[in-house]
Amino acid sequence: MKAPLVCLFITAAAISQPSQAELSTLFTTPQERQIINANRYKSEQVVTRPTQAAESEIEAIQQLIQEKIEISYSVTGIAVSDSGPNTVWINNQMYEEGEHLEDSSHFKVITGDDIKVRITTPDGKQYFATSGETIDVTYMVSASH
């Protein structure tokens, strides 16, 4: 009876110690093995985000694409003030000097022999008009504005 007891201790010792090859996946049926293999060899979808260099390159390309803007401004009145900002009526809307027009253009009242308004577009072009005049303004902006 000593021989079976010794075999039992040897078998128990062999099972309790890890072998050279580690178990990585345990399955009990061929169907489980197929499921494990199917999941293991699936191609992972790699989600790539543009790098900072690629984003700046895209932005540079968008800045190269220009859009032409055409607007008519009708100056219907100019009020020059000694104690506050000058006021201009453009396209039936009142603006005080320092405000921007609807397209981000800005204006300045110029006094002298003739009182006129200088409208500077976002690309830096300047247009001049006096009260009662309509001017057509054309300028280019980047398409990403």
Q: What is the pLDDT along the chain (145 residues), one digit of tens a residue?
A: 555 544 545 555 555 555 555 656 665 788 887 787 777 776 665 566 667 777 777 776 666 677 888 999 999 999 998 888 999 999 999 999 888 888 889 999 998 888 999 999 988 999 999 999 999 999 888 765 5
Length of the chain: 145
Q: From its phi and psi, is residue 124 left (phi > 0), alpha (psi between -120 and 50) or beta?
A: left
Long-range contacts of 92-101 (CB under 8 A, 24+ apart): 101/73
Dihedral over Cα of 35, 41, 42, 45: its sign: positive
pLDDT at residue 25, as a whole number: 60
Rg (CA), the chain: 40
Phi, psi of 7 (to 5 degrees): -65, -35
pLDDT at residue 72 in the model = 93
pTM of the model: 0.53
CB 106 within 8 A of CB 120: yes
Cα–Cα distance between 52 and 66 in angstroms, integer?
Answer: 23
